[in-house]
Amino acid sequence: MLEIELDIFSGMPNPTWTLSGSQEDELIQRVVADPAQLSPVATEDEQFSLGYRGMLVRLAKPDDSAWSRARFAAGRSLPLAFRVGSKPATEASIAEWLLGTSESQDTTVDDELRSVAAQGVSLVQSSWTAVDPTEVRDSAPARGEDTTEDPHGPTGPDETGIQGSTWWACGSNYFNANASTFNDPAYIGRNNCYCFASNHIANSRYALPGRRSGNPATSITCGGVSAGLYSDGWKDGCQTNGLTIVLVIWPNRDYHFYRLVTGGPNWWWGHKPGATPAKYTDDCGNSIYQYNGQGYAPNNCCRGNYTDFCGYFYQNNSTALVA
C-alpha cells in the first residue's frame, strides 16, 4: 500500500491518501521511465521554502504489491520512501500526476492547495552550506540584504503595537544556533517548526501549541494558536534565561515559528519548515539576522503565504516541552 503526502504545511498535518492498485501500477511505470525525478525525503542538496515542497511517497504497509515486486532497469528495488516535484522532469511530471490522484480520494486537498501546488516547488539556498551565525557575529549583513537604517530598533516599524515587541532589549535570553541538531537524520523528519522553536527534540511530527498542557489550539488564527502557546507556558514579556520565538500564520491553514538563536550585535533567527531542514535563511535565501538595525527578522523576511504576523512570545526555559 502506497501513501501519498502533499508536503505543504509546516505545523499542521499534511493531506495524505493512498493509491488504488491501478494507480500504483501507473506510478511504477512513471518512476521507471524517469527515475531522475526522485529525490530523498530529506537531503542536504535540497532546501525548501515555506509552502509546497512536492509529494512524498512511502510504502505505508509492506505487502506483496506490484511496488514491492518492481525493479529499476538496473535490477534495484524501488525505494520505500522518496520525494517528487523538486527535480526537473524529462517525462510527464510525476508530482502533477500524483496531485491529480487526490481528486478521486476523500482528502483535504482543495482548490486553494491545488493552486499553491500548481506553482511548483521553490528551492532556496541550502542551510547545510550557509555560514553559521556564530561565524559572522561581528560582521554586517551580507551584500544584497536590506541595509536601511531602522529608527525603531532591530525589528522595524511593522511591530508597533505588537505584544513583546522589545525582544531585542531583553537582557536574559537563551541562545542556541543548533539547526544541525534538528537536521540529524534521526530527528529531521520527526520534529516540526514548534519543536524547533521550543528547542525540544520531541519527535512529534505535528507538535501543536497547547496539546502538552491539555488545551490544544482550536483555530489556525493568531488568537487560536496564541491561546495554545499561553497554555504551554509562553508569555508576552521577557523571561529569565528564556527562549524568544515568533508566530506567523497562513490564515486558517497553518502556523509557523521562528526562534532567536543568537544575541547582538547580530540577531540571528532560525526556523524549520515542517519535516525539512532547519535553517537560518528565509524563502528568498536571505540570512535572517540584523546588525545595528539593518537586515532581516521574522517581521520583514520572505515567508510566503504566512502573512499574519502574530507577535513575540517568551518562556523561561532553555527547552520548552511540546507534544
Q: What's the pLDDT at 73?
A: 82
Question: Looking at residues 189-215, what average pLDDT do you find?
Answer: 97
pLDDT digits (tens, 9 = 90+) for 236-289: 988 888 999 999 999 999 999 999 999 888 899 999 999 999 999 999 989 999
pLDDT digits (tens, 9 = 90+) for 54-70: 999 999 877 777 898 89
Long-range contacts at 203-209 (CB < 8 A, ≥ 24 apart): 204/322, 204/323, 205/275, 206/11, 206/12, 206/13, 207/11, 207/322, 207/323, 208/11, 208/12, 208/323, 209/255, 209/322
List, in sequence order, the alpha helices (H) in 109-219. Answer: 111-118, 179-182, 193-197
Q: DSSP of 38-68, one letter per residue?
A: EE-SS-TT--B-SS---EEEEE-S--S-HHH
Domain limits, the chain: 2-118, 133-315
pLDDT digits (tens, 9 = 90+) for 143-180: 334 333 333 334 443 443 355 456 777 877 899 999 99
Backbone angles phi, psi at 261, to 5 degrees: -110, -15
Q: What confidence tier does 114 reach under pLDDT thresholds 50, 70, 90?
A: very high
Contact 323/204 with Cβ under 8 angstroms? Answer: yes
Eight-state DSSP code of residue 242: B
- Tell me, rounded to whole angstroms, the distance of Cα 143 from its chain centroid: 26
Residues 6 or more apart from 286 whose CB is under 8 A from it? 144, 145, 296, 301, 302
Question: Looking at residues 223-229, what average pLDDT do you find?
Answer: 98
Question: Looking at residues 203-213, what average pLDDT do you find?
Answer: 97
Q: What's the pLDDT at 170?
A: 82
What is the rounded distance in angstroms from the CA atom of residue 244 to the CA atom of residue 316?
Answer: 9
